[in-house]
């Protein structure tokens, strides 16, 4: 495995690979790699000649009261995980290289960003599309892989690729879960024992909402309220949101007749957890973009 720490070297290496006709699969991460990241790597490894993984905790996507400084980091562990997953190139740039001076250009997300996490995390998706635009230009991928745990991010990246005509295919990958259903997340380490015991009820609440659709409920408001009640009855967490929207457009709906996303974010004392299910009008799980 080759470890690259500068943009210049990464660009040169990616250009060489492209000239050789190598298909590049790219997995952008913020490190502290877990089973969810490994599933992305596994799929990318299967589908491409070269697997590039980046590790960069992007300051632009953290708000003033969010956890940038204490976001978990363990570079040596990440290097071992990348090696185990047969990564060809591990790109670990420094902040000073990625953002060497105040930006002259700002990317603003006009759609798909003012709902779900975007509503309470002002500027978050601007930070996401900014760093991804840079990483796409640096690593030159043919395919890029994202987990559906953050389905809003997948929708925003899909829009970024389409609107700016990147020659990249986005590959959504199903959420990796613990045995009790809790979505894998780097932030799960912040949960107390009691919170960890309760946190699996977030996914149970979404499954309950999905069952309502399967049983014939088509009113989004009724489903959202039932999911909220389930979370409040089974956890001590504070609900940030529960929303039911079209997917990937992320627009309001009045009835469930198309592919939709039922998503939630719940605050515990030291961690904010997100989860979702994407399904069609009949209640069949479907993660198409």
With a cut of 90, say whether residue 282 has pLDDT above it.
no
For a pLDDT cut of 70, what percent of the chain falls above it?
A: 100
Lowest-confidence pick of 38-47, 183-192, 265-274? 183-192
For a pLDDT cut of 90, what percent of the chain falls above it?
A: 83
Question: Is 34 annotated as contributing to ligand binding?
Answer: yes
Q: For 243, list phi and psi in degrees, rounded to 5.
A: -135, 150
Q: What is the pLDDT of residues 127-164, one digit of tens each?
A: 999 999 999 999 999 999 999 999 999 999 999 999 99
Question: Is 31 annotated as contributing to ligand binding?
Answer: yes
For 50-88, b/e burial (b = at least 16 CB within 10 A) is bbbbbbbbbebbbeeeeeeeebbeeeeebbebbeebebb
pLDDT-derived band at 72, boundaries 50, 70, 90: confident
Domains and CATH numbers, the chain: 2-173 (3.40.50.620), 186-279 (3.30.1300.10)
With a cut of 80, say whether residue 288 has pLDDT above it.
no
Question: Is 35 annotated as contributing to ligand binding?
Answer: yes
pLDDT-derived band at 119, boundaries 50, 70, 90: confident
Which residues belong to the active site? 37
How far apart are the C-alpha atoms of 45 and 42, rounded to whole Å? 5
How far apart are the C-alpha atoms of 259 and 245, rounded to whole Å? 9
CA distances from 85 to 40, 52, 169, 248 (A): 10, 11, 22, 30
Question: Is 177 annotated as contributing to ligand binding?
Answer: no
Identify the top-confidence range among 185-189, 222-226, 268-272.
Answer: 222-226
Q: State mean pLDDT over 93-98.
A: 96
**Which pLDDT value is given to residue 283?**
84
Q: What is the pLDDT of residues 160-207, one digit of tens each?
A: 999 999 999 999 999 989 999 999 887 898 999 999 999 999 999 999
């Amino acid at each position: 495995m080759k470890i690259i720490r500068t943009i210049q070297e990464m660009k040169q290496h990616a250009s060489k690979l492209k000239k050789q006709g190598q298909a590049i699969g790219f997995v952008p991460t913020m490190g502290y790699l877990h089973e969810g990241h490994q599933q992305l790597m596994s799929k990318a490894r299967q589908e491409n000649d070269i697997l590039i993984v980046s590790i960069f905790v992007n300051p632009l996507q953290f708000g003033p009261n969010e956890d940038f400084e204490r976001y978990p980091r363990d570079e040596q562990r990440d290097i071992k995980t990348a090696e185990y997953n047969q990564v060809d190139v591990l790109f670990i740039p420094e902040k000073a290289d990625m953002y060497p001076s105040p930006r002259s250009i700002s990317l603003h997300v006009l759609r798909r960003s003012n709902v779900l996490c975007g509503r309470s995390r002002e500027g978050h998706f601007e930070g996401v599309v900014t760093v991804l635009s840079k990483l796409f230009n640096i690593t030159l991928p043919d395919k890029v892989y994202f987990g559906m745990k953050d389905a809003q991010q997948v929708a925003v990246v899909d829009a970024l690729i389409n609107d700016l005509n990147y020659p990249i295919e986005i590959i959504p990958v199903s959420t990796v879960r613990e045995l009790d259903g809790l979505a894998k997340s780097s932030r799960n380490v912040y949960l107390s024992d009691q919170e960890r015991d309760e946190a699996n009820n977030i996914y149970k609440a979404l499954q309950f909402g999905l069952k309502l659709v399967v049983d014939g409920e088509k009113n989004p408001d009724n489903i959202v309220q039932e999911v909220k009640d389930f979370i409040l009855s089974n956890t001590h967490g504070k609900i940030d949101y529960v929303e039911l929207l079209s997917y990937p457009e992320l627009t309001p709906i009045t009835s469930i007749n198309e592919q939709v996303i039922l998503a939630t974010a719940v605050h515990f004392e030291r961690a904010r957890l997100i989860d979702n299910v994407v399904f069609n009008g009949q209640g069949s799980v479907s993660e198409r973009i």
